[in-house]
């Protein structure tokens, strides 16, 4: 598509398409499509993360939908999965999230959820893109949409999150450090954990519009690790800016990524008879996860990168548990989309009920050394990768040296102008060297 990527529409604020005039017309185009699909009385909900440009784009979307004759419910700063949930619970025609997830504050984006709280279908996205090419036509004055703020949105989602753990679960024995990435979880996550009894130490929970994801959160867990050990906490939890990712840190300060979280959830569910089917990972999931699940007789399949692809693979098989090493975890028996808070709660319940440390729960999975190097692509990474003989030859050289005891993955990022070069194997020094050599080859081709 021209505008929609793997995770909505995203880019640098002030540069097309992330401009106020485009977002206003996007709201109008989406509004007219939704009115035709669900009727003129359709309503949408709009939420955002904490970056400063959210004010600008919230107003632009509100104006666009109003011009299309659609009523708007404004949620304010909320985690992305909260907007998906409230779209469904409030019977809206769609939910719109203003966020660039784990990107810095200079970026922003728009993504849509369907009335079922899932990613908007390709058909509706295509219809919105087609409408964007048509002239802007405002409805008559008496049909303009009205906007209303939902003042209790935070409380609604806090209660929902608490309801995703087994009745009677308490976290009283746990001391937890929570890194909110100065993002959308800053009010909700600490409140959820505290109301379940945990002693919570909050960090990076003072957003100012500019500090979202700034050396904090799930992409920078070093500060969390240091705080966990300094406070002698039981574990730490880190979200990304919009709250759909989560990674954890055990009591030793060791990182527990999405692959390890998936293993903990799968092993616990298998032990109590609650595992429905197998597990879906991605091409980037660590080989150690695949091995650990195989040892337990748990089916494992890989999808393309992206929580949308994981979701489709789960639905296709009738399974409920999947995710990515980055911390996108889907528990489809708990939520319609990936939620960092809900996923963290599933792990915390296992820790609380078993009385075991997180480090003990992850001990059954041994991660293979994996090195990923991001190579700037200028936005043309996919075109260069497709069929380039020099890059193909470089990949074959690496694969020949690994000799079947590792993997090579090259893929253009769906959210940033980067090519991600990943090498995985059993020898850490070899993996590092091969990743650097391959990244150098890719960089040489991209800059030629």
Give the rounded percent of residues in the chain with a pLDDT score beyond 70.
Answer: 99
pLDDT confidence bin for 305, thresholds 50/70/90: confident
Residue 133 pLDDT > 80, yes or no? yes
Contact (Cβ atoms closer than 8 angstroms) between residue 22 and residue 12: no
User: pTM score, two decimals?
Assistant: 0.89
Least confident interval from 77-86, 339-348, 370-379, 407-416: 407-416
Q: What pLDDT is recorded for position 234?
A: 98
Q: How confident is the model at residue 30 (pLDDT cuts 50, 70, 90)?
A: very high
Report which secondary-structure segment, H or E, holds 256: strand 255-256
- pLDDT value at residue 377: 85
Nearest to 336 by CA among 91, 81, 77, 46: 81
Regarding predicted confidence, which is higher, 119 or 265?
265
What is the pLDDT at residue 95?
98
- Alpha-carbon Rg for the chain, nearest whole angstrom, is 22
pLDDT at 430 over 80: yes
How does pLDDT run across 31-58, given as a tens digit for each residue?
A: 999 999 999 999 999 999 999 999 999 9
pLDDT per position as a tens digit, 180-199: 999 999 999 999 999 999 99
Q: Is 53 a catalytic residue?
A: no
d(CA 172, CA 176): 10
Residue 105 has a pLDDT of 97
Within a 10 A sphere around the Cβ of 84, how many other Cβ atoms? Answer: 28
- Among 53, 66, 99, 101, the active-site one is 101
Please give the pLDDT value at position 26: 98
pLDDT of residue 414: 72
Q: Cα(121)–Cα(127) distance, rounded to whole angstroms?
A: 10
* Confidence category of residue 264, pLDDT binned at 50, 70, 90: very high
Give the model's pLDDT for residue 442.
Answer: 92
Q: What is the pLDDT of residue 379?
A: 67
Interval 242-253: pLDDT, tens:
999 999 999 999
Give the residue from 12, 4, 2, 1 showing the smallest Cα distance to 416.
12
Condensed to tens digits (0 to 9), the pLDDT of residues 83-112 reads 999 999 999 999 999 999 999 999 999 999
Neighbours of 276 (CB within 10 A): 13
322 contacts 314 by C-beta, under 8 angstroms: yes
Helix, strand, coil share of the chain (percent; to 5): 40, 20, 40
- The answer to whether residue 439 scores a pLDDT higher than 70 is yes
What is the length of the chain?
448
Is the pLDDT at 236 greater than 90? The verdict is yes
Distance of CA 432 to the CA centre of its chain: 27
pLDDT confidence of residue 378: 76
DSSP lists the bridge partners of residue 303 as 282
Closest CA to 174 of 245, 250, 247, 227: 250
Rounded to whole angstroms, the Cα distance separating 130 from 317 reads: 32
């Amino acid at each position: 598509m021209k505008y929609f990527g793997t995770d909505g529409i995203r880019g640098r604020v002030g540069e097309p398409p992330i401009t106020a005039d485009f977002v206003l017309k996007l709201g109008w185009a989406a509004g007219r499509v939704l009115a035709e699909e669900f009727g003129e009385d359709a309503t949408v909900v709009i939420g955002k993360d904490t970056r400063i440009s959210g004010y600008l784009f919230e107003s632009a979307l509100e104006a666009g939908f109003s011009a299309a004759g659609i009523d708007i419910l404004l949620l304010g700063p909320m985690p992305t999965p909260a907007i998906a949930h409230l779209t469904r619970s409030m019977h809206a025609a769609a939910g719109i999230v203003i966020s660039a997830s784990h990107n810095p504050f200079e970026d922003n984006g728009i993504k849509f959820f369907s009335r079922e709280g899932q990613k908007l279908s390709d058909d509706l996205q295509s219809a919105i893109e087609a409408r964007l090419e048509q002239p802007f036509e405002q409805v008559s004055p008496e049909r303009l949409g009205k906007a209303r703020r939902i003042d209790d949105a935070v409380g609604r989602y806090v209660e929902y999150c608490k309801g995703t753990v087994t009745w009677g679960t308490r976290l009283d024995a746990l001391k937890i450090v929570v890194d909110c990435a100065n993002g959308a979880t800053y009010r909700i996550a600490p409140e959820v954990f505290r109301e379940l009894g945990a002693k919570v130490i909050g960090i990076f929970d003072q957003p100012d519009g500019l500090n979202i994801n700034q050396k904090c959160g799930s992409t920078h867990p070093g500060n969390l690790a240091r705080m966990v050990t300094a406070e002698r906490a039981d574990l730490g939890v880190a979200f990304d800016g919009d709250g759909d990712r989560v990674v954890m840190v055990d009591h030793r300060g060791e990182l527990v990524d999405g692959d390890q979280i998936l293993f903990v959830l799968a092993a616990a569910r298998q032990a109590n008879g609650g595992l429905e089917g197998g597990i879906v990972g991605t091409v980037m999931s660590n080989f150690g996860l695949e091995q650990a699940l195989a040892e337990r007789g748990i089916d494992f399949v890989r999808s393309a990168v992206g929580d949308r692809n994981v979701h489709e693979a789960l639905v296709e098989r009738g399974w409920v548990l999947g995710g990515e090493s980055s911390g996108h975890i889907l528990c489809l028996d708990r939520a319609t989309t990936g939620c960092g808070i809900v996923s963290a709660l599933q792990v915390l319940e296992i820790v609380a009920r078993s009385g075991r440390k997180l480090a003990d729960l992850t001990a059954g999975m041994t991660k293979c050394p994996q090195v990923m190097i991001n190579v700037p692509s200028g936005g043309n990474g996919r075109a260069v990768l497709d069929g380039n003989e020099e890059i193909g030859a470089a990949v074959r050289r690496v694969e020949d040296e690994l000799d079947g005891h590792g993997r090579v993955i090259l893929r253009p990022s769906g959210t940033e102008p980067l090519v991600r070069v990943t090498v995985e194997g059993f020898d850490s020094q070899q993996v590092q060297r091969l990743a650097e050599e391959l990244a150098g080859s890719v960089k040489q081709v991209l800059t030629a």
